[in-house]
Amino acid sequence: MPMSSTPAVLVQQLQKRYGSTVAVADVSFQVEPGQIYGILGPNGAGKTTTLHCLCTLLRPDSGRIEVYGIPASENPKAVREKLGFVAQEVALDKVLTGRELLQLQADLYHLPRPLAQERIAAVLELLGLTDRADQRIGTYSGGLRKRLDLAAGLLHQPQVLVLDEPTVGLDIPSRLAIWDFLRQLKNTGITVVLSSHYLEEIDLLADRVAIIDRGKVLAEGTPEELKTRVGGERITVKLQEFAPAELAQRGAQLLGSLPFVQKVVINSAQGNALNLVVQRNGEDPLSQIRAHLQAHGLEVFSSTQSRPSLDDVYLAATGQTLMDAELAAAEANLGKKKK
């Protein structure tokens, strides 16, 4: 498919600090029209700051942002007309009904009343909110509020919808409903930029992804490209359901000596399973692993084989798993609060 020469979103060498904190050190990415673009990173990586700069809610210290060729620094109003933004924190007035809130939003965009009624009915329908539209927002669940927030972001028919962690804190059915909705939206040709710290969400939805950590893009591409780039197959071998540490260590040593095994990690959270990264050499790696262990008196209790996941991509790019990065960010935050 030929790509349009003007990207829907262009972010080049973005930088933003808050005092001495560098929130965004160097972020560049480009989104083609109609794509769903994912920004993946742990808490504190700089996702919200990047999106706020994109939506002209924050002024970058340096770098360039364009939306459909319009430079954000020179024409923020025109950029805002093209964008819909759905913030991470949903701050809706609980006394209003869903329909009243949308009417208020339509007034902010100066939509004439008849057109507003029509659009409000359409977005309510699109998000499955028609039945609840005349009830107070205070009675809505978290998932319904998020959907109302999405409806508000779509009211002025933006060409690009920007969502900051759209499913954070939602239960699984609400999350699935939002994923479904974003896929439908993509079919209508809208460009979507979303940030997330859920690997699964990005893997399922995004056409392309930028992995960011500490304000920098560490890897960029389609999820498939990134997985292929990491290379190697993942094999998990259990020597017993819960293998004693010495047994796991012996197995790890034996397997680590095989030329096609690139890495062995003993996974204590999985009953001391052996997590291997292997490079295929023509023969089935699992048969070779079995044979090698058997030759040394060890049996394989169970095994699984898989391609690299986005978590492996994340690990290769940042040197830690996303979960570890989240834990480290939470601890750092706790440290800041204690001071």
Measured from the CB atom, is 133 or 210 closer to ligand ATP? 210
Instruction: Tell me, rounded to whole angstroms, the distance of Cα 310 from its chain centroid.
Output: 10
For the purposes of burial, counting CB atoms within 10 Å of the CB of 119, is it exposed (0-12), middle (13-18) or buried (19 or more)? buried
Measured from the CB atom, is 80 or 197 closer to ligand ATP? 197
Measured from the CB atom, is 261 or 329 closer to ligand ATP? 329
What residues are paired with 274 via a beta bridge? 237, 266
Measured from the CB atom, is 66 or 165 closer to ligand ATP? 165
What is the closest distance, in whole angstroms, from the C-beta atom of residue 167 to ligand ATP in the complex?
Answer: 12
**Within a 10 A sphere around the Cβ of 19, how many other Cβ atoms?**
5
What is the closest distance, in whole angstroms, from the C-beta atom of residue 195 to ligand ATP in the complex?
Answer: 6
Buried b (16+ CB within 10 A) or exposed e, 275-306: bbbbeeeeeebbebbbebbeeeebeeeeeeee
CA-closest candidate to residue 128, choices 173, 82, 169, 187: 173
Measured from the CB atom, is 46 or 166 closer to ligand ATP? 46
Applying CB under 6 A, which residues contact ligand ATP?
18, 21, 23, 41, 43-49, 165
Measured from the CB atom, is 46 or 251 closer to ligand ATP? 46
What is the closest distance, in whole angstroms, from the C-beta atom of residue 10 to ligand ATP in the complex?
Answer: 20
What is the closest distance, in whole angstroms, from the C-beta atom of residue 332 to ligand ATP in the complex?
Answer: 8
Measured from the CB atom, is 18 or 242 closer to ligand ATP? 18
What is the closest distance, in whole angstroms, from the C-beta atom of residue 68 to ligand ATP in the complex?
Answer: 24
Contact 14, 60 (CB under 8 A): yes
**Within a 10 A sphere around the Cβ of 59, how many other Cβ atoms?**
11
What is the closest distance, in whole angstroms, from the C-beta atom of residue 210 to ligand ATP in the complex?
Answer: 12
What is the closest distance, in whole angstroms, from the C-beta atom of residue 49 to ligand ATP in the complex?
Answer: 3
Where does residue 304 fall: left (phi above 0), alpha (psi -120 to 50 degrees), or beta otherwise?
Answer: beta
Helices (H) and strands (E) in the chain, counts: 12, 14
DSSP category for residue 4: P
Angle at 261 between CA 255 and CA 263, to 5 degrees: 90
Instruction: Tell me, rounded to whole angstroms, the distance of Cα 58 from its chain centroid.
Output: 21
